[in-house]
Amino acid sequence: MKKTAILSITTITLMSTAAVFLYPTFFPVKTDELNSNKKMEQSASSLKATSQQDTEIDDASAKDMMEYFVSGNTELTLEDIRDNVAKHHDQSQSAVVDEALFAKYLEYKSALASLDVQFDTTSISAEDLQALNQALLDLQAQFFSPSDISILFTHDNRMREIALEKLLLKQEGLEDEEYQQRLESYLSEQPDYVQSSHQNQVLLQQLSSSEGLDEQGKYLKRSELVGEEATQRLEALDKQRAAFEDSLEVYFAERNDVLNDSALSENEQQETIAQLRTEHFLPEQLRRVEAIERIRANEAKQ
């Protein structure tokens, strides 16, 4: 079945995740420095969506910062996001993107959402990916200068080229050994950061494939891929995630009971729900829970 598959573009070709940085304080600071830091934190906090409050604005690069702000679009309007970027540009001494570039980036994102490239999302061919790649390159050229494209899209474009090369090699019907040799030869010609990014993608795919195994099989597979220490950290994250999901399920069941209790006024319902949040979740999880509530509420309206 053919369909317009714009939202799956990133998943198919990039498999990238947004970087989020937390900064611990290692050294004692003076009171005036603490006050200054607190003011800066409060100022930065006002620029974030609720679900972003426990993260730092990612200004490692122009692309990273713009993607960070755009990731809040489930809670903020594009106009709000545009205003926040403008404020961040005024406040930050190290901002790496200006308001004009971000305005073009928002226009590009809007055009990307309406890009009409059709293919079967369950079995993309080399021809499909070639058409998609060309459409994206054309769209980038429509909105950005060559220097802007180099800054914003070099990595993404290269990763699409690797995905396309893989499909082309597979279409040749090569034996596994020859396929690997040809692919490794192609990758060896790529910059080091591209090779590292590809290796990370392959590792993520291999780790993801272990999810269908039983607990022992998953542990052994992970140990083989990333080592014992990293596997133990992944196990701990699994347990934290499962505990959070369990708490979330119980919380929403109790929350629904409160909302369906006609004996409570609206204020009493909200106060009871707020109390439920503090009973089921840690303080650092509350903003995340509130964001999930809003997302579910928006989904229910659709």
Overall number of domains in the chain: 2
Q: Do 269 and 140 share a domain, yes or no?
A: no
Residue 143 lies in a domain: yes
What is the residue range of 156's domain?
A: 3-210
pLDDT in tens, 2-15: 444 443 444 444 33
Q: For residues 266 and 280, is the Cβ–Cβ distance under 8 A?
A: no
Is 220 contained in some domain? no
Tell whether 189 and 234 lie within a shared domain. Answer: no
Per-residue pLDDT averaged across 170-194, rounded? 88
Question: What does the DSSP 8-state code read for residue 284?
Answer: G
Q: Which residues pair with 21 in a beta bridge?
A: 56
Is the residue at 219 inside a domain?
A: no
What's the whole-number mean pLDDT along residues 51-75? 59
pLDDT above 70 (res 27): no
The Cα 214–Cα 141 span in angstroms is: 48
State the pLDDT at residue 88.
Answer: 65
Q: Are residues 233 and 202 in the same domain?
A: no
215 in any annotated domain:
no
77 falls in which pLDDT band (50, 70, 90)? low
Give domain status of residue 222, yes or no.
no
Task: Find the range with the poorest average confidence among 117-131, 138-152, 178-192.
Answer: 117-131
Q: Quick one: 130 and 265 in the same domain?
A: no
Domain boundary among the residues 180, 210, 240 is at 210
Where in 2-94 does DSSP place strands (E)? 3-4
Residue 134 and residue 277 in one domain: no
- Which of 163, 184, 210 is the last residue before a domain boundary? 210
Q: Which pLDDT does position 174 carry in this prediction?
A: 86
Whether residue 273 has pLDDT greater than 90? yes
My answer on whether 125 and 259 are in the same domain is no
81 and 22 in a common domain: yes
- The per-residue pLDDT for 92 is 65
Query: Do the domain assignments include residue 221?
Result: no
Span 87-103, mean pLDDT? Answer: 65
Question: Could you tell me if 176 and 252 lie in one domain?
Answer: no
For position 25, what pLDDT does the model report? Answer: 34
- Asked if pLDDT for residue 259 goes beyond 90, the answer is yes
- Domain match, 92 and 206 both: yes
Asked if 188 and 287 sit in the same domain, the reply is no
Q: Give burial (CB, 10 Å; 0-12/13-18/19+) of 77.
A: exposed
- What does the pLDDT average to over 264-287? 92
Q: Residue written as tokens 């052994």?
A: 220
Q: Say yes or no to pLDDT of 283 above 60.
A: yes
| Ranges 33-37, 123-127, 180-184, most confident | 180-184
Does residue 217 belong to any structural domain of this protein? Answer: no
| Residues 286, 162 share a domain | no
pLDDT at residue 194 in the model: 81
135 falls within a domain: yes
Give dist(CA 59, CA 29) in Å, integer: 24
- pLDDT at position 269 over 60: yes
Q: Let me know whether 131 and 10 are in one domain.
A: yes
